[in-house]
Each structure stands twice: as C-alpha cells, then as structure tokens.
Amino acid sequence: MRALIHTYAEMLLARGLAILGSFGVAILTARMLGPVDRGRYYYIVTLAAVGVQIASLGIHSSNTYLIARTPALLAQIMANTLWIAVVGGVAAAAGVLVFDLAVAGHEQDVALVASVLMLTPSLLLFLYLSNIAVALNRPRAFNGLIILNGIAAVGAALLASYPSPRLGGFLLAAVMASLVACAVAWIVLARGVKIPRRFDVPLLREGIAYALRAHIATLLGFLMTRMSVMVLRQFGEFADLGYWSIAAQIADALLILPATIGLLLFPALVRAEKAARVRQYRAALLQLGLLMTVVCAAAAALAGPAIAIIFGAAYEPAVAIFLALLPGVFFIGVGSAASQFLSASGFPWSQVMAWLCGAALQALLSVALFDRLGTVGLAWIQSGCAGLVCVWLLASSTVLASADRH
C-alpha cells in the first residue's frame, strides 16, 4: 500500500512539474508577445489540441488495457501507434484547418498551417507513448517523460525569446519541443522491442470498440473547455483570446487535482463490490466537494494580484474571465467523482448523453448570446453548462448507486 501511495505521489509531483512547464511557456509568450499575439499563439495551439482529441480515438486508453491484458501485443501496438499518430494526426490537422478556414476566411498563413500540421501528430504520438509507459507499469518512465516534455517546452521557448521574440519563433519552439519529447519517448519505450512495419487493422478495431464511449465523452468534455476559443475567433478579437488564454490556463491547472484523485479512485472502484463501491464513491464525492470548495475559494481570492504580478497589468481583463470560469472548475471537479463511479460501473450511455447535451447547449448559447454578453459572458455560459453536466452525472450516479444497494 505504501508503495502504491508513493507511486501516486510521484505521479502528482510529476504532473505538477509538467504544469509548471506549460505555465513557463504561458508567461514567456504573454509578456513577450502581448495579448494580441498571445491570443494568436493560443488559438493555433488549441487547433492542434482539438485535432489530437479527435484523432486519438480513445486508443491511448485501449492501449493501456490491451498491453496489461496481453503484454505480447506491445510491438504491434507501438507500430499501430506510430501509424495512427502520423496518418490520423495529419488528417485531423487538415480537418481543423478546414474548419478554421471556414471560420476565419482567407486569413490563414504559412505559420498557422505548418504549426498545426506538425504539432497535431507529434502531440498525439507523445500522448500514446506516455500512456504506453503507464500500461507497462513504468511510472517513473511516465513521470520522466512528462517532466521532460515540460522542460523541453520551456527551454525551446526561452531560445525563441532571444534576440527578437516573435510569434513564429514561439510556434517553431513548440513544434521542436514536441518532436524532441516524442523522440526520447520512442527511444525509451522501443528499446529491445522489434517493431513491425505493418499496420494491424483488427487490433485497431478492438481498441476502438473498447474505448468508444469513453472517447466520445472525453472529446465532448474537451470541446466544452475549448469551444469559447472558436467563438472568440469568429466573433471577437485576438486580444480577447489572449486574455481568455491566461484565465483558461489557470483553470486547467486547478483541474489537475481532481484528475489525479480520479486516477486513484477509478481502479479502487473497479475492484470493489457493488455496496463497497457505493460507499467509496460517496466518501470520495464528499471529500472532493470540500476540497474543490477550498481550492476555488483560494483561487478567487488570489486571482487578481497573481495575474497582475505573473503575467503583467496588460492581462487584467483575464481576472474577470477566470472568476467566471471558476464555478465550472468546481462543477467539473465534483462531477469527475461521479464520472469515475459511472465508468467503473460499465460506462452507461447516460454518461455520454450528459456531455453531449452540455456541449450542444453551450454551443447554442455561446453563439446566440456572445454579442450581448461578451467574453466574460462566454465564461459564465461555460460554467453554467458544466453545472448541467455535473448535475446530470450526479443524478445518474445516484440512480445507479441506489440500484447497486439493492
């Protein structure tokens, strides 16, 4: 038990260090580019991240299951992973670029197109490889890789800062850091493994079948956190995106805590019998609710001075956006406990429907009300729709928990 707690503590520390890496890049780009170009930078990185989520197909989750079940599949899974990352990543990047063209008209430039085409497959490959490290029960390799990824990102951004910091330089730095992280991860995991060149279609089908519902729910949840970026691109200004990027980055950092707790909670719930599972879930829900209340209250109190000191006075509008996003952080954090309980109980389609309805409502309200409510209003809409999803998940988990008790 101590060894397990030590492993999870190391993983939490590694994730924290990785978050510091992304914050380092955010601070450099915010201070050296200003709100407008910081907004452009964040938008391009968001396009790549959306492409990653679309192309992932839940394979990173199914790889963990398949390798744990059949370790001999590692070589073929590594081969499939590379093929999917390159082909699927480029295809998804092309898809989001077409979407951007439809939204932005003829404003695309070479830097945007090249960055998205390079970042999407490399970020996707690193996602796959880091999860394979977990599947191989190599937590220290996983921790080392995500820390390396953060260090590479900050180091490349520092190099891009001098002598003349420009948007194109920071985008190139992001691409190079991602490629370096992928190369190191491949070397670490492929050592001693004879990887075939062929692509195994039946293995892909098995992986997608295992992870389909989880992938859809994860994709919808991610789109809810990034939807406002697309709305701002269409109806707002890049400066608004710059302010939003800072608020969103802090909100994402706060969610590392419930995400890590979920990582601990899920296997415990899977192993537990029905009645014990319900007891563990309710205890975790109460504890997580209290913890998120304290975290969100502290963040609300510190947001104003922290943003001004770290990112500069130019980003003061980000404070109001962040405060409007905070209720959503609370709802997502609390809802994650219900989500883990439902996932451990077979991942019912009601869980997918919660995210589908939340995302659809957010899209409708964001487009319809942006002119009236502005950027801060988008943040309140996102929080409100996160609240809807949270209530839905809690209701579904309550029904399921009542059934499990009888």
pLDDT values of the chain reduced to their tens digit, one per residue, 406 residues:
455 556 656 766 777 777 888 888 999 999 999 999 999 999 999 999 999 999 888 887 778 778 877 888 889 999 999 999 999 999 999 999 998 888 766 566 788 889 999 999 999 999 999 888 877 878 788 888 988 999 999 999 999 988 888 999 999 999 999 999 999 999 999 888 889 989 989 988 888 877 777 788 888 988 999 999 999 988 888 999 999 999 999 999 898 888 877 766 776 777 777 788 888 888 888 988 999 999 999 999 999 999 999 998 999 999 999 999 999 999 999 998 888 888 877 778 888 899 999 999 999 999 999 999 999 999 999 999 999 999 999 999 888 888 756 5
Domain extent at residue 44: 1-199
Place of tokens 């809807």: 388
Lookup: tokens for 277: 């599972």
Same domain, 155 and 81: yes
Cβ atoms within 10 A of the Cβ of 117, count? 19
Helix (H, G, I), strand (E, B) or coil at 356: helix
Let me know if residue 204 belongs to a domain: no
Residue after which a domain boundary falls, among 148, 170, 199: 199
Let me know if residue 220 belongs to a domain: yes
Same domain, 181 and 267: no
d(CA 374, CA 12): 36
Same domain, 17 and 124: yes
Same domain, 64 and 179: yes
Q: How far from 127 is each of 132, 217, 252, CA to CA, in Å?
A: 9, 18, 17
Domain count, the chain: 2
Same domain, 214 and 194: no
Residue after which a domain boundary falls, among 167, 199, 231: 199
Let me know if residue 373 belongs to a domain: yes
Same domain, 176 and 221: no
Let me know if residue 327 belongs to a domain: yes
Same domain, 246 and 345: yes
d(CA 122, CA 332): 28
Same domain, 228 and 178: no
Same domain, 171 and 242: no
Q: How far from 222 is each of 10, 48, 215, 342, 372, CA to CA, in Å?
A: 26, 13, 10, 18, 25
d(CA 321, CA 338): 27
Let me know if residue 205 belongs to a domain: no
Residue after which a domain boundary falls, among 199, 222, 241: 199
Same domain, 194 and 230: no
d(CA 284, CA 267): 13
Same domain, 271 and 364: yes
Sequence-separated (6 or more) residues with CB below 8 Å from residue 111: 44, 167, 168, 171
Let me know if residue 165 belongs to a domain: yes
Same domain, 222 and 296: yes
Helix (H, G, I), strand (E, B) or coil at 227: helix
Regarding pTM above 0.85, the answer is yes
Nearest of 268, 132, 263 to residue 193 by alpha carbon: 132
Produce one character per residue of 272-300: b if its CB has 16 or more CB atoms within 10 Å, e if not.
eeeeebbebbeebbeebeeebeebbeebe
Q: Is 137 left (phi over 0), alpha (psi -120 to 50) or beta?
A: left
